[in-house]
């Protein structure tokens, strides 16, 4: 059981392996999301606003002159950065967590957070695009950072969507492992007379008879061994 995997890690717990960790699809997508979030936060804070000529204090948001839109995009970049960093740190500790219920809670939370950020960034992308398209100003202004922010919102949708997809696959892997483990435990808990052969406890003269010698009705054929690699054992796992 030491090599059996559940929810992306071994059941017995293990040590952090950087080579394996940074090759996980969830880690790759989440790292991309972290970088994009930092760039989005910087882009909106740096170039999402334009200071009107003749005024040293009054600024206008390039997304439809809506100050709340600029504030929302900047806050989204910040919280996405914090969320991605927190999930990366927790994912790095996943191998050392031997409790399957605790690991399941983390994977469920990871899937939830990634799905929520995917939906929010998708909404933000269309909102920023629509607001910027409707913006009109009589004086020259630089729109490079504002356009870059729209692109970053779209790329962040893909990054968080990819992380959510592989988080779902990791959750699915853990659910299948738990189901297989429960089946094995229930089968091994049966009486030996039932498990032998076809499960008949009596002799050939009285199938299922009780109180007679323990002679199997018919010896079962050797079990078929799977030829495909087990995705839940050792390093053969999906590595989500």
Structure tokens at 12: 């017995």
Mean pLDDT in residue range 210-239:
49
Inside any domain, residue 148: yes
User: Contact 95/15 with Cβ under 8 angstroms?
Assistant: yes
Tell how strand 59-61 and strand 49-51 pair up. Answer: antiparallel
Q: 2 falls in which pLDDT band (50, 70, 90)?
A: very low
On the 0-12 / 13-18 / 19+ scale of CB atoms within 10 A, 13 is: middle
Number of folded domains that form the chain: 1
Close Cβ partners of 74 (under 8 Å, ≥ 6 residues apart): 40, 41, 44, 45, 48
Structure tokens at 229: 């690699």
Inside any domain, residue 46: yes
User: Contact 74/44 with Cβ under 8 angstroms?
Assistant: yes
| Beta strands in 62-150, from DSSP E residues, in sequence order | none
Mean pLDDT in residue range 143-166:
95
Inside any domain, residue 154: yes
Which residues lie across from 49 on neighbouring strands? Answer: 61
Q: What is the mean pLDDT of the chain?
A: 76
Q: 165 falls in which pLDDT band (50, 70, 90)?
A: very high
Q: What is the pLDDT of residue 126?
A: 97
Inside any domain, residue 229: no
Q: What is the pLDDT of residue 147?
A: 93
Inside any domain, residue 11: yes
Cα–Cα distance measured from residue 126 to residue 137, given in angstroms and rounded to the nearest whole number: 21
pTM of the model: 0.69
Owning domain of residue 151: 5-193
- Give the residue, 155 or 201, on which the prediction is more confident: 155
Nearest to 46 by CA among 149, 173, 159, 139: 149
Inside any domain, residue 93: yes
Inside any domain, residue 235: no
For the chain, the residue count is 240
Q: What is the pLDDT of residue 75?
A: 96
Long-range contact pairs involving 118-124 (C-beta distance under 8 Å, separation at least 24): 118/157, 118/160, 118/161, 118/164, 120/76, 121/76, 121/80, 121/153, 121/154, 121/156, 121/157, 121/160, 122/157, 124/72, 124/73, 124/76, 124/153
Residue with tokens 């079990």: 223
Long-range contact pairs involving 65-69 (C-beta distance under 8 Å, separation at least 24): 65/135, 66/131, 69/127, 69/128, 69/131
Q: What is the pLDDT of residue 87?
A: 95
Inside any domain, residue 13: yes
């Amino acid at each position: 059981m030491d090599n059996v995997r559940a929810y992306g890690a071994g059941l017995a717990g293990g040590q952090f392996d950087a080579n394996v960790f940074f090759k996980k699809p969830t880690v790759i997508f989440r790292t991309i999301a972290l970088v994009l979030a930092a760039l989005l936060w910087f882009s909106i804070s740096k170039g999402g606003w334009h200071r009107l000529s003749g005024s040293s204090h009054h600024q206008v948001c390039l997304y439809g002159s809506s100050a709340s839109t600029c504030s929302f995009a900047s806050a989204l970049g910040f919280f996405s950065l914090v969320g991605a960093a927190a999930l990366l740190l927790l994912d790095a500790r996943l191998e050392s967590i031997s409790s399957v219920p605790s690991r399941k809670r983390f994977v469920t939370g990871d899937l939830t957070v990634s799905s929520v950020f995917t939906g929010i960034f998708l909404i933000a992308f269309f909102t920023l695009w629509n607001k910027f398209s409707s913006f009109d100003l009589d004086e020259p202004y630089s729109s490079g950072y504002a356009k870059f922010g729209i692109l970053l919102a779209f790329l962040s949708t893909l990054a968080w969507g990819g992380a959510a997809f592989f988080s779902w696959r990791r959750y699915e892997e853990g659910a299948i492992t738990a189901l297989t483990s429960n089946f094995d435990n229930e089968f091994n808990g049966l009486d030996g007379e039932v498990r032998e052969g076809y499960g008949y406890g009596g002799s050939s003269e009285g199938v299922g008879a009780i109180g007679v010698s323990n002679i199997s009705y018919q010896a079962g054929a050797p079990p078929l061994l799977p030829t495909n690699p087990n995705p839940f054992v050792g390093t053969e796992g999906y590595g989500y």
